[in-house]
Structure 1
Amino acid sequence: MTAIGAAVSLPQQLADALRARIRAKEWAPGEKLPTEAELVAAYELSRATVRQAIKDLESQGLVVVRHGRGTFMSPHGGIHAGMQELTSISSSIAEMGLTPSMKYRRRTIRSANDDELVEFDLERGAKVLDIQRKILADGVVVAYSYDILPRWAFPETFKASQLRGSVFGYLAEHNGPRPTRAVAEVHAVRSDIIGWDDDEGEDKLYVLLDQLQYDDHGRPFMHSRSFFLEGKFNFTVIRTH
């Protein structure tokens, strides 16, 4: 029998427990997971709780639900993320049991240009943080990210060199804006100027996630253009009626 605690909702606890088993590679890609009845018995939870937990995993693209047949691990390798989720790339990588890291090409505080003044509703002369970084999973590059944030999102004493990991994580630790909504566009891009270092000049196919993040006051505070290497990062969109 598997124990479930009481710190958060039961569906979330079960989803977390199953994600841990997925990270441990208990099931291979395409392999069938325990049935709903087996999960109910193993965790001593209701069918409604099990179904909600499975739905959470499905929204991340970790599992595929085939009605009448059961729940199966996603047949695709790589990293999975639900496009409707407001989580950092680093968090998505860590949830797959991989180690996220990043290497910066630029971390600069500079004057906002005309487009940025309008986008972030800034006064002329305001500053922004300009970030260019490549994001790795277990040492393998999976994305190149170009991010712009208004200077007000950070503490007064902030220096660009202090940012060494997840932007969302840094903001959360320093009482910065919290993402509650995003407007995103997705494009397929083939380019030889996105990557740098070993990838410089290589013509590659990317999935561009171009999104503007808003905080709980409705203020835009982060414009990200993340170029994911095709086949390295898998996005899922769950549509319901």
Structure 2
Amino acid sequence: MTVPAGRAKLGDRKSLPVRLAEDLRDRLARREWRQGDQLPTEAELVTAYGVSRATVRQALKTLESQGLIITHRGRGSFVADDSMIRAGMQELTSITSTIREMGHVPKMIYHHRVVRPAKPDECDTFDLPENAEVLDIQRKILADDITVCYSYDVLPRWAFPADFQAADLTGSVFAYLAEHGGPTPLRALARVHAVTRPEVVWDKEGLADDQLFVLLDQLHYDQRSRPFMHTTSYFIEGRFNFTVVRTSPGR
């Protein structure tokens, strides 16, 4: 097992557990440890990074929730199988960020990006006046040129700058909003379903009509508790898996 020589330095923009998790995730992405390898022990990480054991445990729990490592009590933490994309169900990050953090190359192909009048149900969802507009996005998301998800997103026009054009959006919606002073995702209400809906595959990629998708239907809220993004994302089962970390009360 390898650990940094001396104390590794972490930046100071975020909390220690978050920064430690990000640093370890970067090292995993660089293949410093391979599938099945054991990570340094908690004690070794405490020494290497100069942080508390509680910080190390929280960072490792974050990596486990994202499906990057598997922790066995009494044995340690091991690098998980990286042949598929995994995400923690409780993690509020973009799909492309998750793909990149798992060591794969994300890519998007758009069916369309259009600003259009909001439908009545969208006005209700986002609390918009009748003449409001929304951005309607349909795209597929790839990892290493393999399609893992078809995503249908709707956002109110107010979330974007006044001079925004639909073609300006070429990557992560969250990243674009962060770069242009838009709403910040603070929480999301999600429903998860297993579905077979061949109509979502708009490019006829060759998936079978009975292809199983994991549908993640989410409504995102910003720091002012305003709903600002409704996503219906169809993840191709077996290519993108979700993990849920459950702990007993008191842990």
One-letter amino acid matched to 1:13 = R
Comparing 177-186 with 200-209, greater Cα deviation is found at 200-209
How far apart in 1 are the matches of 2:156 and 2:22? 34
Deviation at 1:44, TM superposition (A): 3.9
Deviation at 1:133, TM superposition (A): 0.3
Question: Aligned ranges for residues 118-137 of structure 1 at < 5 Å?
Answer: 118-137=124-143
Q: Please list the CA deviations of residues 159-198 of structure 1 after superposition, one character each: whole Å capped at 9, or x if unmatched.
A: 1111111111111111111111100001111122111324
Which residue matches 1:210? 217
Say which SS state the counterpart of residue 51 (structure 1) adopts.
Answer: helix
Comparing 147-156 with 34-43, greater Cα deviation is found at 34-43
What is the alpha-carbon root mean square deviation over aligned residues? Answer: 1.8
CA contact (8 A) 2:68 2:102 kept: no
Match for 1:4 among 9, 20, 44? 9
Task: Extract unaligned runs of 5+ from structure 1.
Answer: none
Match for 1:101 among 103, 107, 121? 107
- The answer on 1:222 being equivalent to 2:229 is yes
Say which SS state the counterpart of residue 32 (structure 1) adopts.
Answer: coil
- The answer on 1:62 being equivalent to 2:76 is no
Match for 1:183 among 164, 189, 213? 189
Say which SS state the counterpart of residue 31 (structure 1) adopts.
Answer: coil
TM-score normalised by length of structure 2:
0.89
CA contact (8 A) 1:185 1:211 kept: yes
How far apart in 1 are the matches of 2:242 and 2:213? 13
Match for 1:18 among 7, 10, 24? 24
How far apart in 1 are the matches of 2:146 and 2:110? 15
Which residue matches 1:72? 78
Which residue matches 2:52? 46
CA contact (8 A) 1:135 1:143 kept: yes
Q: Please list the CA deviations of residues 79-137 of structure 1 after superposition, one character each: whole Å capped at 9, or x if unmatched.
A: 22111121111111111122211011011111111111111111112111111000111
Q: Quote the sequence identity (%).
A: 59
Deviation at 1:141, TM superposition (A): 1.0
Which residue matches 1:35? 41
Comparing 104-113 with 76-85, greater Cα deviation is found at 76-85
Deviation at 1:12, TM superposition (A): 2.7
Match for 1:192 among 188, 191, 198? 198
Which residue matches 2:97? 91
